[in-house]
Amino acid sequence: MLQNKTNKPIADLAGTVVHAFPPNQNPDNGKWRPANFEIETESGVVKVKHFPYSYFDKEQGVRVTPEPIQMPEWYKQLERFGATLQGLEGLKVQIKGAGTINETTMAIEYTVVGDNFTVLDSDSPQVNTLDPVQEQGKQQTFSLDERIAWNSSVNNAVQSHPFKGDPLDAEARSKWLGEIDVLALDIYHMIRRGPVEPKVEAVEPDEDIV
């Protein structure tokens, strides 16, 4: 792993986008939150984030984010995946990131270095990518509706079965992800099936009643 001038570790990350969120403003204090990406790599899920451009105002003694916000060129290229970036979820990406420790979770989070954020699948949001219910080793079209259903399934599985271990414990994360995968798959089938009428057994009348 390389180091940059600020002594932050530089890593080459490659994997599938699990979640993607655009920058958004905190309504309580007006501060801008970063664009966030969760990437499923061979070693587990990593978080990549990037704040809008800002500068330190010496007169006010605070950091200021100009509005409308400004983002790097690599982020502007993601606009084709929708304002919410939902079309990016399920696609493969390759990123060069500078790592920092999140003091709350103690997990490593990455900031994109330069313009090193590349979508590998296609120039179009509709691409061939791995379907969570396909047979291992095969590849088929994974539509936007299917990606949305799968992402919803994973979100529900995570909410009902949160990870409570050490985020730096790769073995514990792998075991948890396997459990999430099984639970999400069951939920996915229910979402794709759609609602069905519940079966209600008819109540036999009491023969003693005249």
- 160-201: per-residue pLDDT in tens? 888 887 766 667 777 777 788 778 878 877 887 777 776 666
Q: What are phi and psi of 94, to 5 degrees?
A: -130, 130
Confidence of residue 129 (pLDDT cuts 50, 70, 90): very low
**Torsion sign (Cα): 153, 159, 161, 164:** positive
Confidence of residue 137 (pLDDT cuts 50, 70, 90): very low
Contact 136, 154 (CB under 8 A): no
pTM beyond cutoff 0.85? no
The domains located in the chain, with CATH, are: 1-125 (2.40.50.140), 130-195 (no CATH)
Looking at residue 210, the DSSP 8-state letter turns out to be -
Angular region, 93: left φ>0, alpha ψ -120 to 50, beta rest: beta
